[in-house]
């Protein structure tokens, strides 16, 4: 067993962390603003977003839309359905990092596009066409204990895999 | 803070005994092994993902370009289990504790490189911080062979309280910046609706709470959450305040589990560090007649928790009581037990206060 640390060393450890903790938090804030949250970091989740303004609400829906070989809408999947092996706590972040920021289908190499197609075919049991990532925002109003949908707006629709001829 | 006060804060806030820390060591190692290990069934899927899915967070994981093969994950996972068993048995405890932290960092670093960081730093830090408390100084293989009394250290508990307080503060501060304290916004309600309608977290009391449409309730919850989280940093300054805020934290996590279906079990081993382990050790020594020999106390304590955790795990996995995954049966049970302990300790403290005031 190792010996205990001296009082002087322990004090230095505390002084280090008392300086380091706020500094790293500042770095987390700056890096997080321009990129994403660094890791490892001494932070807890902020859940800072506010979705409720008076009686109106905004809810974001992220979906994977699969088309048939002839370009017809076949089915939409929630991320939890499509990426079923990814833990629920991570799937929204996965979507944000990998699909939302993708821009277009060129962002994914052929191996990744094949993975998307294989997954769609596994889930639907048919040969599929193009696959899209869809970001919708639903605007709702509370009426008593009910929620009324005022409108739904598609904010983003990105092709993530192309059909193979 | 003067040097004298600074020293008193570091060295005199907590006065743990080697035996008390040892009971916590056994409890924490077993809790991690049973309930908080990374999901080993996920490693094969992770290794099979296309390289495009490798999106590491800014930090050391950026040095790696792709997910490693499955055998790498299984090797690190095995090493983590071995090091945690080392902590449990108190074998080369300090090294085992530090290695546990290192292996968790590696495994979780890859798991979080899917594009989403989960906030598990407290769990990762716990063994490394407690390594310096000499939590292997009693009821351990080390103590058995060393045959020399080691001094239990209280300062790691102060450091742990500082980490918890600071991390809680970061959560509260982000909420302030995000507008949680504005009177015309109801962030808690928004998150509830988001979890309920978008993420499908519709278990326990979430359905009932979604129907609450009293703005003042949501406003109070927003303010209470921010005050609790931001105030935790101040609470780290005194042991009593830390224990009070840890109790609030248990209540907070219990309520978010019931309403948002988010169970933050990963923090609970660190919260448990602030339980009165010295008293628990004294109680076990004095009240249980079977425990006469020193060696039988950790064995009885460890066996009890082993059986309890094994039963909870078996019920959870067999899904005989609950079929839903989030929150799971083990999360509900353990957080529920934690709440009962907090209430019992609170009643005990209140009685002490009443007695003091009367006398």
Q: Is B6 on the interface with A (CB under 8 A)?
A: yes
Q: Quote the tokens at residue B205.
A: 């009391």
Same domain, B266 and B347: yes
Q: Quote the tokens at residue B3.
A: 């040097």
B1 within a domain of the structure (yes/no): no
Rounded to an integer, what distance in angstroms lies between the CA atom of residue A70 and that of residue B130? 62
pLDDT > 70? residue A144: no
Same domain, A5 and A69: no
User: Is B53 close to A112, i.e. CB distance below 8 A?
Assistant: yes
Same domain, A32 and A72: no
More confident residue, A7 or B184: A7
Chain B residues touching A36 at Cβ < 8 A: 57-58, 115, 117
Rounded to an integer, what distance in angstroms lies between the CA atom of residue A65 and that of residue A62? 10
Chain B residues touching A20 at Cβ < 8 A: none
Q: Angle between the B93-111 and B121-130 helix axes, to the nearest 10 degrees? A: 160
User: Is B6 close to A11, i.e. CB distance below 8 A?
Assistant: yes
Nearest to A79 by CA among B324, B196, B198: B198
Same domain, B28 and B62: yes
Kindly report the length of chain A. Answer: 165
Same domain, A23 and A64: no
| pLDDT confidence band for A52 (50 / 70 / 90) | low
Q: Is B115 on the interface with A (CB under 8 A)?
A: yes
Going by C-beta distance under 8 Å and a sequence separation of 6 or more, which residues neighbour residue A16? Answer: none
Domain ends where: B137, B153, B169? Answer: B153
Rounded to an integer, what distance in angstroms lies between the CA atom of residue B267 and that of residue B253? 10
Question: Helices H, strands E: what count in chain B?
Answer: 16, 0
Same domain, A131 and A58: yes
Same domain, B257 and B222: yes
Domain ends where: B153, B178, B213? Answer: B153
- Which DSSP helix (H) or strand (E) runs through A56? strand A56-68
Rounded to an integer, what distance in angstroms lies between the CA atom of residue B207 and that of residue A145? 11
Same domain, A123 and A148: yes
Is residue B216 helix, strand or coil? helix
| pLDDT confidence band for A146 (50 / 70 / 90) | low
B8 within a domain of the structure (yes/no): no
pLDDT reported for residue B67: 95
Q: Which residue of B has its CA nearest to A136?
A: B198
Same domain, A34 and A57: no
Q: What are the pLDDT tens digits along chain B (359 aa)?
A: 677 899 999 999 999 999 999 999 999 999 999 999 999 999 999 999 999 999 999 999 999 989 999 999 999 999 999 999 999 999 999 999 999 999 999 999 999 999 999 999 999 999 999 999 999 999 999 999 887 678 899 999 999 999 999 999 999 999 999 999 998 888 998 888 878 876 778 889 998 998 888 889 999 999 999 999 999 999 999 999 999 999 999 999 999 999 999 999 999 999 999 999 999 999 998 877 665 666 789 999 999 999 999 999 999 998 777 766 679 999 999 999 999 999 999 999 999 999 999 88
Same domain, B259 and B117: no
Same domain, B202 and B326: yes
Domain ends where: B127, B153, B179? Answer: B153
Average pLDDT over residues A91-107: 80
pLDDT reported for residue A25: 97
Q: How many domains does chain A have?
A: 2
Rounded to an integer, what distance in angstroms lies between the CA atom of residue A20 and that of residue A25? 8
Q: How many domains does chain B have?
A: 2
pLDDT reported for residue A53: 64
Same domain, A88 and A142: yes
Same domain, B115 and B159: no
Same domain, B193 and B312: yes
DSSP A88-144: HHHHHHHHIIIIITT-SGGGS-HHHHHHHHHHHHHHHSS-EEEEEEEEEEEEEEEET
A156, β-bridge pairs: A135
B101 within a domain of the structure (yes/no): yes
Q: Is B78 on the interface with A (CB under 8 A)?
A: no
Same domain, A25 and A77: no
Q: How many C-beta atoms surround the C-beta of residue B140 within 10 A?
A: 27
B5 within a domain of the structure (yes/no): no
Same domain, A41 and A103: no
Q: Is A17 on the interface with B (CB under 8 A)?
A: yes
The radius of gyration of chain A's CA atoms, rounded to the nearest angstrom, is 23
Same domain, B119 and B199: no
Q: Which residue of A has its CA nearest to B191?
A: A51
Same domain, A63 and A144: yes
A152, β-bridge pairs: A138
Q: Is A27 on the interface with B (CB under 8 A)?
A: no
Rounded to an integer, what distance in angstroms lies between the CA atom of residue A67 and that of residue A136? 18
The answer to whether the CB of B316 falls within 8 A of the CB of B329 is yes
B208 within a domain of the structure (yes/no): yes
Strands (E), chain B: none
Rounded to an integer, what distance in angstroms lies between the CA atom of residue B349 and that of residue B12? 21
Same domain, A5 and A61: no
| pLDDT confidence band for A155 (50 / 70 / 90) | very high
The answer to whether the CB of B130 falls within 8 A of the CB of B25 is yes
Q: Is B5 on the interface with A (CB under 8 A)?
A: no
User: Is A42 close to B189, i.e. CB distance below 8 A?
Assistant: no
Same domain, A43 and A74: no
B162 within a domain of the structure (yes/no): yes
Same domain, B40 and B124: yes
Chain B residues touching A137 at Cβ < 8 A: none
B6 within a domain of the structure (yes/no): no
The answer to whether the CB of B205 falls within 8 A of the CB of B327 is no
How far, CA to CA in Å, does B140 sit from each of B25, B132, B286? Answer: 10, 15, 21
Q: Write the DSSP symbol of residue A38.
A: -
The answer to whether the CB of A140 falls within 8 A of the CB of A59 is yes
pLDDT reported for residue A50: 67
**Closest Cβ opposite residue B174 in set A14, A46, A85:** A46
Q: Write the DSSP symbol of residue B165.
A: H
The answer to whether the CB of A1 falls within 8 A of the CB of B142 is yes
Is the predicted ipTM greater than 0.90, yes or no? Answer: yes
Domain that holds residue A5: 1-47
Domain ends where: A47, A63, A79? Answer: A47
pLDDT reported for residue B181: 94
Same domain, B115 and B195: no
Same domain, B170 and B146: no
Distance of residue B357 Cα from the nearest chain A Cα, in angstroms: 37
pLDDT reported for residue B194: 78
Chain B residues touching A44 at Cβ < 8 A: 119, 167-168, 170-171, 229
Residue reference for tokens 């997910």: B67
Same domain, B178 and B149: no
Domain that holds residue B231: 155-359
């Amino acid at each position: 067993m190792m010996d205990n640390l001296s009082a002087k060393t322990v004090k230095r450890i505390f002084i280090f962390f008392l300086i380091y903790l706020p500094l790293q938090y500042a770095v987390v804030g700056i890096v997080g603003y321009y990129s994403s949250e660094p890791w490892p970091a001494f932070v807890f989740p902020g859940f800072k977003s506010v979705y409720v303004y008076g009686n109106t609400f905004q809810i974001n829906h992220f979906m994977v839309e699969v088309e048939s070989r002839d370009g017809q809408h076949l089915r939409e999947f929630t991320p939890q359905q499509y990426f079923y092996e990814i833990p629920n706590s991570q799937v929204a972040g996965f979507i944000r990092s990998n699909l939302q920021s993708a821009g277009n289908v060129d962002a994914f190499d052929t191996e990744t596009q094949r993975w998307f197609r294989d997954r769609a075919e596994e889930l639907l049991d048919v040969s599929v066409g193009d696959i899209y990532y869809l970001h919708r925002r639903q605007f709702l109003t509370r009426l008593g204990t009910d929620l009324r949908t005022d409108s739904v707006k598609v904010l983003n629709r990105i092709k993530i895999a192309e059909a193979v001829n | 803070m003067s040097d004298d006060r600074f020293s008193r804060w570091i060295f005199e806030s907590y006065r743990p005994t080697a035996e008390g820390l040892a009971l916590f060591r056994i409890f924490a190692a077993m809790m991690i092994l049973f309930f908080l290990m990374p999901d080993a069934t996920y490693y094969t899927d992770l290794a099979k993902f296309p390289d495009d899915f490798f999106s590491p967070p800014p930090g050391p994981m950026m040095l790696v370009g792709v997910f490693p093969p499955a055998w790498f994950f299984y090797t690190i996972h095995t090493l983590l289990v071995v090091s945690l068993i080392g902590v449990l048995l108190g074998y080369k405890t300090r090294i085992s504790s530090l290695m546990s932290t290192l292996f968790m960092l590696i495994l979780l670093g890859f798991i979080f490189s899917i594009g989403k960081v989960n906030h598990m730093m407290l769990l990762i830090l716990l063994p490394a911080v407690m390594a310096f408390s000499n939590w292997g100084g009693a009821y351990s293989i080390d103590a058995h062979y060393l045959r020399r009394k080691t001094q239990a250290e209280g300062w790691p508990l102060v450091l742990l309280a500082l980490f918890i307080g600071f991390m809680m503060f970061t959560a509260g501060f982000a909420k302030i910046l995000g507008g949680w304290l504005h009177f015309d916004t109801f962030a808690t309600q928004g998150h509830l609706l988001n979890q309920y309608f978008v993420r499908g977290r519709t278990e326990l009391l979430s359905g009932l709470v979604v129907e609450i449409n009293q703005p003042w309730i949501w406003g109070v919850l927003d303010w209470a959450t921010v005050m609790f989280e931001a105030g935790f940093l101040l609470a780290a300054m005194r042991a009593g305040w830390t224990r009070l805020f840890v109790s609030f934290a248990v209540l907070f996590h219990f309520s978010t589990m019931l309403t948002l279906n988010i169970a933050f079990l990963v923090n609970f081993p660190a919260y448990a560090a602030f339980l009165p382990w010295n008293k628990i050790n004294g109680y076990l020594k004095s009240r249980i007649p079977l425990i006469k020999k020193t060696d039988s106390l950790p064995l009885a304590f460890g066996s009890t928790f082993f059986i309890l955790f094994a039963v909870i795990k078996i019920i959870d996995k067999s899904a005989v009581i609950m079929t839903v995954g989030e929150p799971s049966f083990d999360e509900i049970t353990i957080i529920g037990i934690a709440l009962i302990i907090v209430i019992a300790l609170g009643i005990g403290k209140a009685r002490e206060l009443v007695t003091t005031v009367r006398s």
